[in-house]
Amino acid sequence: MAKVAFIGIGKMGLGMAGRLLAAGHDLTVFNRTAAKAEPLVRLGARLAASPREACNGAEAVFAMTADDASSRAVWLGAEGILAASRAPRGFAIECSTLSHDWVMELAGHAAARGWRYLDAPVTGLPHDAANGALTLLVGGSADDLQAARDLLGAISHSVIRFGPVGAGTAYKLIINLIGAVQIASAAEGLALAERAGLDASVVAGAVATSQAASPQVVRNIRRMVDDDHHHNVVFTPALRLKDVEYGLRLAEKLGFRAPFGEVAADLLRRLCELGLTEMNESKIIDVFTSGDAGHQRLE
């Protein structure tokens, strides 16, 4: 079993780190709010006071944080991950959804310090993380991925390599951009259906078995109908907007315009302006039902 560090114990990180423990790895964790790591400590993980301390001597480091700023904070600096000593040919595995620019910069920093770097953002929900049922979207060399497969297998049921470093992140930003468009479109369609006098619950059931169905649409349109945005928050508007903006930044870098993504970003910004940043992203229905917010975007 390997000496492993896990940095970032949020809703996803908690389950992922738990799977590494269950697989028998020697695990040290760090989280800015230490109390969130207590369930792992009770199961045998060690809690470190800094990312550097957590990663000293590690054969592999996993990171799962919210955005570029938080990722930069844990990787760089005197107390960052890359300041730690490492086992020979140790792995730096970044599982967060980050901008493509930062992932490529981070890969350069890691390589300069002798780490083998994989960008491995995930698809799945917190219960998938807890059950080891995530899909990992990997960018990195085929040899490095092969060498890391046993480690990655502890937290996932599927690993897809998209190409060299950065390719996994590119795909994750693309698929999250698609998801944002789908959710916004579902909210628009549901609001239109209600304006047409249709029963929203019947509409949601019909959509779930239609050609327009997707896991994103089915899950979120049901929550829209039930007005269920406050409990068991899966993904917030603030995080979705962050991902969409990173995706649009990638598109711009590649000389590609993504007009549907731009519309989704505008709707998510309006939702955040309503002060609804920390509810479930299904709350986007309010952009269409709160006053004239849904009409302003067409002016």
pTM value?
Answer: 0.95
- The answer for residues whose C-beta is within 8 angstroms of residue 271's C-beta and 6 or more apart is 237, 277, 283, 284, 286, 287
Question: At residue 165, does pLDDT exceed 90?
Answer: yes
In degrees rounded to 5, what are phi and psi of residue 118? -130, 130
Lowest mean pLDDT, pick from 64-73, 186-195, 198-207, 285-294: 285-294
Catalytic residue among 3, 36, 172, 283: 172
CATH class of 170-296: mainly alpha
DSSP annotation string for the chain? --EEEEE--SHHHHHHHHHHHHTT-EEEEE-SSGGGGHHHHHTTPEEPSSHHHHHTTEEEEEE--SSHHHHHHHHSSTTSGGGS-EEEEEEEEE-S---HHHHHHHHHHHHHTT-EEEE--EES-HHHHHTT-EEEEEES-HHHHHHHHHHHHTTEEEEEEEESTTHHHHHHHHHHHHHHHHHHHHHHHHHHHHHTT--HHHHHHHHHTSTT--HHHHHHHHHHHHT--SSS--S-HHHHHHHHHHHHHHHHHTT---HHHHHHHHHHHHHHHTT-TTS-GGGGHHHHHSTTHHHHTT-
- CATH architecture of residue range(s) 3-164: 3-Layer(aba) Sandwich (3.40)
Q: CB 160: neighbour CB atoms within 10 A? A: 14
Mean pLDDT of 166-177: 98
Question: At residue 232, does pLDDT exceed 90?
Answer: yes
263-279 pLDDT, tens per residue?
Answer: 999 999 999 999 999 99
Percent of the chain at pLDDT exceeding 70: 97
CA–CA distance, 135 with 128 (Å, rounded to integer):
9
Residue 2 tokens read as 């390997």
CA–CA distance, 81 with 74 (Å, rounded to integer):
6
In degrees rounded to 5, what are phi and psi of residue 217? -65, -50
CA–CA distance, 87 with 151 (Å, rounded to integer):
15
CATH topology match: 3-164 vs 170-296:
no
CA–CA distance, 17 with 15 (Å, rounded to integer):
6
Lowest mean pLDDT, pick from 157-171, 176-190, 283-297: 283-297
- The answer for residues whose C-beta is within 8 angstroms of residue 236's C-beta and 6 or more apart is 277, 278, 279, 280, 281
283 among known catalytic residues: no
Residue 175 tokens read as 């698929």
- Domain positions in the chain are 3-164, 170-296
pLDDT class for 290, splitting at 50, 70, 90? Answer: confident
Question: At residue 293, does pLDDT exceed 60?
Answer: no
